A and B are shown apart, each in its own frame.
Chain A
C-alpha cells in the first residue's frame, strides 16, 4: 500500500470484540478481516459476489465480504465463522452446525464452508426448523465444487433436527 493511499479509521465489533483500525478506502471487508485482523476463517474466492465463500453476517444479515468496503462497515457488528465454535462447543470444540457438517461429510476441501456456515446460521436464526427447500434456496447463493451439495443439505437438516430434539 502506497503512503498516499487514502484511508478511513473505522470502529467495528467483530465476533463480540471491538476493533479500531485505519483501513485503505478501497479495501473490501473480506480482505480487511483476513489481512488486517488475521481472521482467516473467511475465505475469498471469486471476488465478484458469485461464489459465496466470503459471506459474513453484517448486523445480523448475510452479505458478501468482497462486495462491501471495510470503510462501509464502520459502526457495524460483524460475525464470521470464527464465532461459531464459541457458543456451544461439542466434544471437538465445534459448534452444532459445524459438528453436523463433520458428521455428514458436508465438506471436502472446505474452501466454501465458512460462507455456507454463515448463511445457514442466518437461516436458522430466522427459522429454526426450515424445510429442505428453504435450505436449498439459501445454498443457491454458494458454490461448492466438491460435495455436490447433497451432504451439505443433509448436515443442515441434521443440525435442525438436533436443535429441535434438544428443545
Chain B
C-alpha cells in the first residue's frame, strides 16, 4: 500500500526540530524509516506532520566522553557495524548489530529509531538493557536522562512525552577483558528474533564471576534482565552446573505467546540460548582465557 497524506518537514537543527515537534499538530518523528515507513505504507499510522531528523547533523556520530561511548540518536547501524571504537569498547553491541535486519536496511536504520520503536525482540534495545544504557531526551527548555529500564515502559512504548526527542544514547563500557555473547534465533537471518539473549561477564582474580548481566529480548513485552540468573552466576566459577541453573532461570521468565510461537516455546528457547551464550561469554573473558581451559566451564564439560 501507499502512505496516507502527510506534510513533510526536514529541519536542519535540533532547535528547529524541537520547535516543529512542539507546535505542529499530529507530529511524528522520522529517523531511519526502516520501521516507521512500513507502518506508514501499511497505514498503521497516519501523522498529520512528518518531521524528518535525517538532516539534523548534530544528532549523528559516535564519540567518547569521559568513560562513556556516546551515540547520536541518528547514528546509522552501518556506522556502528564498521566502527573500530564500538568493536574495541562495546563488543556486545558490535556482535548484536550484525543481527539487525540486512545490509540494505542497516545502511539507513538508526540506533535511536530502534530504541524509540522499541520492538521487544529488536537487538539494540536488548543491548541497551543489558548495558544499562542511559538515554538523553530533550524538549524545548528541558533535558532529562533516563535509564533504559525506565525508558522501556511497555510493548513498543517508550517513556517519551509529546514534543520530546531522543538525542543521545550513552553506554558505559565494561572493563577491558570482560566476556560477552549475543545470540538469537529467528526463522530466517534478518528476521526479528523470536528470542535473543545478551550476556556480559566479568571474573575476579580467583576466576569467580564478579559482575554479570543476562538479558532476554523477544520474551516479554520489552527486553528484560533476568536477575535470578545473574545472581545464580555471581560468585560462582561458572561451571556447568552454574550455567544450567542460570539458563533454567531464563526459561522461567514470564513469556508472551502468539499463535505461531507459544509462550512455552519462547521459554525453552530462552533457556537453550542462555545455556549456549554463557559459555561463549566465559570463553571470551580474558581472565578465563589466561587461566587456560582447566576450569570446569560449560565449554569443556
- A47 and B41 contacting across the interface, CB-CB below 8 Å: yes
Check if A163 is an interface residue, CB within 8 A of chain B.
no
Q: Are the CB atoms of A138 and B34 closer together than 8 Å? A: no
The residue that A49 contacts in the complex, of B38, B54, B103, B189, with Cβ under 8 A, is: B38
> Complex: how many Å from CA A138 to CA B189?
11
B105: chain A residues within 8 A (beta carbon): 49, 64, 67, 141
A67 x B108 contact (CB < 8 A):
yes
> Does B2 lie within 8 Å of A62, measured CB to CB?
no
Specify which chain A residues have a CB less than 8 angstroms from the CB of B7 in the assembled complex.
Answer: 6, 25
* Mask of B1-25 contacts with A, CB within 8 angstroms, 1/0: 1111111101000000000000000
Q: Which residues of A contact B34 (CB under 8 A)?
A: 49, 64, 67
User: Which of B33, B103, B189 is the one whose CB lies under 8 Å from A62?
Assistant: B103
Contact residue among A24, A49, A138 (Cβ-Cβ distance under 8 Å from B37):
A49
B3 adjacent to A28 (CB under 8 Å): yes
Q: Chain A interface: which size bin?
A: 20 to 34
What distance in Å separates the Cβ of A83 from its nearest Cβ neighbour in chain B?
A: 17
A28-B37, A68-B108 given. 10 additional CB < 8 A pairs? A6-B6, A24-B5, A25-B7, A26-B6, A26-B40, A49-B105, A55-B104, A68-B37, A71-B8, A72-B33
Residue A61, interface by CB 8 Å: yes
Q: Mark A72-113, 1 if CB is under 8 A from B, else 0.
A: 101000000000000000000000000000000000000000
Can you name the residue of chain A whose Cβ is closest to the Cβ of B189?
A: A140
- Given A26-B3, A26-B5, does the pair A67, B103 have CB atoms closer than 8 Å? no
- Docked complex Cα distance between A82 and B268 (Å): 49
Asked if A63 and B104 sit within 8 Å, CB to CB, the answer is: yes
Q: Mark A43-74, 1 if CB is under 8 A from B, else 0.
A: 00001110010010000011110111101101
Interface of A: prevailing SS: mixed
Residue of A nearest to B102 (CB): A141
The chain A residues found within 8 Å of chain B, CB to CB, are: 5-6, 8, 24-26, 28, 31, 47-49, 52, 55, 61-64, 66-69, 71-72, 74, 119, 122, 137-138, 140-141
Jot down 19 A-B pairs with beta carbons below 8 A, ordered by A: A6-B6, A25-B8, A26-B3, A26-B8, A47-B1, A48-B41, A49-B105, A61-B78, A63-B104, A64-B104, A67-B33, A67-B34, A67-B38, A69-B8, A71-B10, A72-B52, A137-B189, A141-B101, A141-B190
Residues on B with C-beta less than 8 A from A72 are 10, 33, 52, 54
Question: Which residues in B have their C-beta under 8 angstroms from that of A6?
Answer: 5-8
Residue-by-residue, is B23-43 near A (CB-CB < 8 Å gives 1, otherwise 0)? Answer: 000000000011001101110
A120→B40 CA distance, assembly (Å): 28
**Given A25-B7, A72-B52: A31 touches B2 (CB 8 Å cut-off):** yes
